[in-house]
Amino acid sequence: MKKNFLLAVVAVGFVACNSALDALATDSSITLKDNNTEVTFSFQDKFGMKNWYVDGVSQLYRQQFYYRIGSTDYERPIDSLNLWNITQTSDNSLSLVYGKRGLKIEVSYLLSGGVEGSGYSTISEQIKISNLSRRSIDFHFFQFVDFDLAGEYLGDELLLIQNEDGLFTGAYQRKGNSYFGEELLSPGANRAQADEVYPTWPLFDSLVDSQPTTLNNSAGPISGDPAWAFQWDQCIDAKGSFEISIVKTVYPIPVPEPSVFAIVSLVGVVVAARKRIKS
């Protein structure tokens, strides 16, 4: 009886999975929606997360995750793995399971839009990397993010944040007097790189070339059309796993511009701005 029940559950899950995968064959993206926000996840054009529209304003050009096993191979986007499962239980959530023999990467997204007209929106991401093999693996995980706040690629300033242990725990980006974009990480990344993506994009190129990449730990501040990448270096035990939590938020700058903008004070300004928005 119990066995039959389990078989039934597996069968239902299989049908749902196949249905979602069939849909992907004709439409290689899924768009999440919540309140004032929508964001799109593409599976085949290597843009990953894109088109984060908050009250109709585009804020994110793209985000993609990459991985490398060992120190001599090159990085690959996670969507180069097999897409094993897609689960969407609501308009604002999505879970994707990628894998190949010996490796599974699960990424879950939750979109939390703000009230209409607030300009506020948050995306939470939970990543779980599982080593299915019987040997430990020297695993390297990369995240590439290119915010173009207010839909304009120029005019942004970016600063990456390190904690007292030297781990990178976040990124703050600002567009003049209009918007902040921020990202917080847990655990912090071992390495990072802030770099320009206009008129050339060496950081992005380094993640899609045929050489192993080690980020150079340049944290900014930089201005223009910045982007950043984080790198987690982790030995994952046989049958073990490693999890990463990421929270992104965008919101308008609600206070008059200080007479002299100092990006090093961004953290304090960000906290004040968020309190005002949430109150």
Binding site for Ca ion (CB under 5 A): 74-75, 146, 148, 206, 209, 211, 213, 225
Which pair of structure tokens corresponds to residue 14? 């299989």
Residue closer to Ca ion, measured from CB, 96 or 248: 248
Which pair of structure tokens corresponds to residue 53? 């529209």
Taking each continuous run of H as one helix and of E as one strand, the counts in the chain are: 3, 18
- Rounded Cα distance between 210 and 38, Å, is 34
Which pair of structure tokens corresponds to residue 202? 């060496």
Residue closer to Ca ion, measured from CB, 167 or 194: 194
Residue closer to Ca ion, measured from CB, 92 or 213: 213
Instruction: Name the minimum Å distance from CB 210 to Ca ion.
Output: 7
**84 to each of 95, 174, 245, 248, how far by Cα in Å?**
11, 37, 21, 26
Decide: 40 and 50 in contact? Cβ < 8 Å.
Answer: yes
Instruction: Name the minimum Å distance from CB 178 to Ca ion.
Output: 14
- Rounded Cα distance between 38 and 33, Å, is 4
213 phi, psi to nearest 5 deg: -120, 135
As a whole number of angstroms, the longest Cα–Cα distance in the chain is 73
Residue closer to Ca ion, measured from CB, 26 or 210: 210
Instruction: Name the minimum Å distance from CB 74 to Ca ion.
Output: 5
Instruction: Name the minimum Å distance from CB 159 to Ca ion.
Output: 14
- Rounded Cα distance between 242 and 105, Å, is 10
- Rounded Cα distance between 15 and 10, Å, is 9
Instruction: Name the minimum Å distance from CB 192 to Ca ion.
Output: 15
Instruction: Name the minimum Å distance from CB 244 to Ca ion.
Output: 20
Residue closer to Ca ion, measured from CB, 76 or 128: 76
Decide: 245 and 186 in contact? Cβ < 8 Å.
Answer: yes
Instruction: Name the minimum Å distance from CB 3 to Ca ion.
Output: 48
Residue closer to Ca ion, measured from CB, 32 or 197: 197
């004032």: which residue's tokens? 36
Residue closer to Ca ion, measured from CB, 62 or 130: 62
Residue 75: DSSP 8-state: P
Q: Which residue is nearest to Ca ion (CB)?
A: 213
